[in-house]
């Protein structure tokens, strides 16, 4: 099962932005966008509630996490770049989840 830390790290690696900046308070456009994508993925790929997403992201409240998620989900950023970013990140997260599952299986070869 994927965790919020794994999602943050994947988003950080993908956008080449440190996790500390993603979870920080800066209002720079690129960081706000990256934060919204991370919040969207946390809700989409985990069973986290909005308050849990807000805590994981260092956001003030669950309404901030919901607004960030909704901006991505409703297409406010609904341009081709956003679709490509989200789809690429989902693929990376899914691949890392499969790799984690493989690494956790016991080796049954004798």
Overall domain count for the chain: 1
Give residue 20's pLDDT.
97
- Residues 31, 24: Cα–Cα separation, whole Å: 9
CATH number at residue 86: 1.10.1750.10
User: Does 109 fall in a domain?
Assistant: no
* Residue span of the structural domain in which 83 resides: 4-104
Nearest partner of 14 among 30, 3, 28, judged by Cα:
30
pTM for the whole structure:
0.88
Helix residue spans in the chain (DSSP H):
4-15, 19-22, 29-45, 50-57, 62-73, 80-104
User: Does 78 fall in a domain?
Assistant: yes
Average pLDDT taken over every residue of the chain: 90
Rounded percentage of the chain residues whose pLDDT exceeds 90:
73
User: Does 81 fall in a domain?
Assistant: yes
User: Does 61 fall in a domain?
Assistant: yes
User: Does 110 fall in a domain?
Assistant: no
Convert the pLDDT of each residue in 36-82 to its tens digit: 999 999 999 998 999 999 999 999 899 999 999 999 988 767 688 89
């Amino acid at each position: 099962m994927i965790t919020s830390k794994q999602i943050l790290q994947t988003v950080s690696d993908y956008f080449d932005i440190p996790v500390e900046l993603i979870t920080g308070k800066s209002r720079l456009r690129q960081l706000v966008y990256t934060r919204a994508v991370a919040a969207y993925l946390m809700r989409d790929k985990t069973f986290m509630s909005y308050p849990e997403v807000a805590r994981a992201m260092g956001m003030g409240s669950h309404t901030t996490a919901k607004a960030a998620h909704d901006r991505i989900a409703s297409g406010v950023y609904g341009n081709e770049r956003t679709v490509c970013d989200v789809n690429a990140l989902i693929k990376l997260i899914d691949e890392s989840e499969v790799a984690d599952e493989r690494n956790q299986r016991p080796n049954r070869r004798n």
